[in-house]
Amino acid sequence: MFSIDSGACGRMSRGSTGSFLLRKQGSANETVFAGVRCTQCSGLTQITIVCLDEKTDCLLRTLSGMYARLPISSMWQCAPAHLVVYARKTIERVFMAQIHALAFYPNLDADRHRDELFSKSLARLSRSIHPGHPMLKIPNVLHGEAPWPSAQAEISIINAYKSARDKLGCVVRCCETISNLISMAPGMGAAAADDVTPVLVYVLIQANPPSILSNVQYVQGFGGSLLDGVEGYWWTQFTAAIEFIKTLL
């Protein structure tokens, strides 16, 4: 196990590198970090964070190496396919939880400050926005479900998840909740993208999920291979809603 020497942390700008000092604890002989270079010196391990694309590549290669060991492990050779899939997801969750603090805020205080400013702006906007706002144009037939608390509850817990896969799943559940509620409204039928987006904008403003911009950056950086099919469709709706919110601030 390693602990971060917070006094050694410096600020990084995007595309640059930064160093952290981690002190080794216990008797662990091997630790792998995605997107970092480790140098052992006098009981300290210097961790150099590299650019996001390189970190993503290192992460995928590291996880692929772990996944490749599953079939040759005596514990998993006879395991059914669904258990192997679950094991792969568990490996990803545990691994991402270990590096989350470094990967989620690649620019350290700059990213935190950006998220705080955006959150404060959303809080101010939430006091003036309403379902009938002319910029949203949410149909009156849907106002009865406002403020869509079930969808807000889904997106509000996005920071409880550490892997890009689970964060994306949180976004998908939020969007699908909105879609289902719209489809149940009188005379609406199946929800189209134009129906979902204004409601999603309102839900995001009212829920004001923490570190939403860093979550977008994190999923796009570490979950790019997941952004296809249904997940890709809802992710596109989600990011479009955030971009629209920026025009309202």
Q: What is the CATH number of domain 107-248?
A: 1.20.1050.80
pLDDT score recorded for residue 208: 97
Pick from 156, 142, 172, 148: which is nearest to 207 by CA? 156
Burial 75-112 (b: 16+ CB within 10 A, else e): eeeeeeeeeeeebeeebbeebbebbeebbbbbbbeebe
**For the segment 34-48, what is each residue's pLDDT rounded down to a tens digit?**
333 444 444 444 444
Residue 178 has pLDDT above 90, yes or no: yes
55 or 178, higher pLDDT: 178
Per-residue model confidence as pLDDT tens digits over 151-171: 999 999 999 999 999 999 999
Residue 122's pLDDT is what? 96
* Pairwise CA distance, residues 104 & 160, whole Å: 13
Residue 187: pLDDT band (50, 70, 90) is confident
For residue 21, with 0-12 CB atoms within 10 Å meaning exposed, 13-18 middle and 19 or more buried, which class applies? middle
Question: What is d(CA 228, CA 217) in angstroms, rounded to the nearest whole number?
Answer: 17
Q: Which of 9-23, 57-71, 183-197 has the lowest mean pLDDT?
A: 9-23
Interval 4-31 mean pLDDT: 36
Find the radius of gyration of the CA atoms of the chain.
21
Residue 66 confidence (pLDDT)? 87
Which pair of tokens denotes residue 78? 């006879």
Confidence at residue 52, expressed as pLDDT on a 0 to 100 scale: 57
| Domain residue ranges in the chain | 44-104, 107-248
- Looking at residue 26, what is its pLDDT? 42
